[in-house]
């Protein structure tokens, strides 16, 4: 498994180097960016900011082949400090399915967690309004010990999702999240743990977020 983790980390760095650092030199590559604000850092049902608002930003390069890579940054983790994530992957059609596969490296400079130390492999498949996603920890303290799965349904501006944490220790908290996309920029969501919720915050979490795409 260690060799697999090294290969995944190496592939992430290589793809980021060729796609993100020199996007202008690659024909058929589109570069997009956005900034956002939210009243909390809602992560898989948990409020990682412990009540604090969060500012985030994203820079992404997408090739016409479906390959993409980018960087996402946030101010909001109350435990580990400010965060930025490096990611790379591919998304497109496989038959009737919308498929996406990517690697994410989570970096926390103030906590000495550098690139390649915490890595998730993320795979999703969607058919019409239904989408399932698997987040598998492949590098870091949770490697081989933790995964997170979601199953969601979207209808127009409304969405519903069930998210399930799975630890080898036996803990498996699950949460339901309902969302409403008011317009292209403003969205609302409420999330509540409903399964194995003895060690989590039982109160519903209410998220308000505003994102703004940036154009040249």
**What are 142-163's pLDDT values in tens digits?**
787 899 999 999 999 999 999 9
What pLDDT band is residue 176 in, cutting at 50, 70 and 90?
very high
pLDDT at residue number 143: 80
For the chain, the DSSP string reads -HHHHHHHHHHHHHHHHHHTSSGGGSTTEEEEEEEEEESS-EETTEETTTT--EEEEEEEEEETTSEEEEEEEEEEETTTEEEEEEEEEEEEEETTEEEEEEEEEEEBGGGTB-TTSSEEEEEEEEETTEEEEEEEEEESTTTTTEEEEEEEEEETTEEEEEEEEEETTS---EEEEEEEE-SSSEEEEEEEEEES-TTS--SPEEEEEEEEEE--
pTM of the model: 0.85
pLDDT at 14 over 70: no
> pLDDT tens-digit profile of 101-128?
999 999 999 999 999 999 999 999 999 9
Domain CATH code at residue 105 = 2.40.160.40
What mean pLDDT value characterizes the chain? 88
Tell me the residue range of the domain where 184 lies: 2-21+30-214
Q: How many domains, in total, are found in the chain? A: 1
């Amino acid at each position: 498994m260690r060799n697999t983790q090294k290969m995944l980390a190496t592939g992430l760095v290589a793809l980021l180097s060729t796609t993100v650092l020199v996007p202008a030199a690659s024909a058929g590559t589109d570069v997009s960016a956005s900034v956002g604000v939210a009243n909390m850092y809602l992560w898989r049902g948990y409020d990682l900011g412990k009540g604090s608002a969060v500012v985030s930003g994203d820079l992404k390069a997408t090739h016409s082949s479906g390959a993409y890579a980018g960087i996402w940054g946030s101010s909001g983790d109350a435990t580990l400090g400010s965060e930025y994530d490096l990611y790379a992957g591919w998304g497109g059609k496989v038959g009737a399915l919308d498929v996406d596969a990517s690697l994410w490296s989570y970096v926390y400079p103030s906590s000495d967690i550098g690139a390649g130390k915490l890595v998730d492999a993320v795979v999703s498949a969607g058919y019409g309004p239904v989408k399932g996603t698997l987040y598998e920890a492949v590098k870091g303290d949770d490697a081989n010990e933790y995964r997170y799965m979601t199953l969601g349904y979207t209808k127009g501006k409304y969405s519903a999702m069930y998210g399930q944490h799975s630890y080898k220790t036996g803990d498996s908290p699950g949460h339901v999240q309902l969302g409403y996309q008011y317009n292209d920029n403003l969205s609302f969501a409420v999330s509540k743990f409903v399964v194995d919720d003895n060690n989590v915050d039982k109160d519903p979490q209410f998220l308000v977020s505003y994102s703004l795409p940036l154009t040249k």
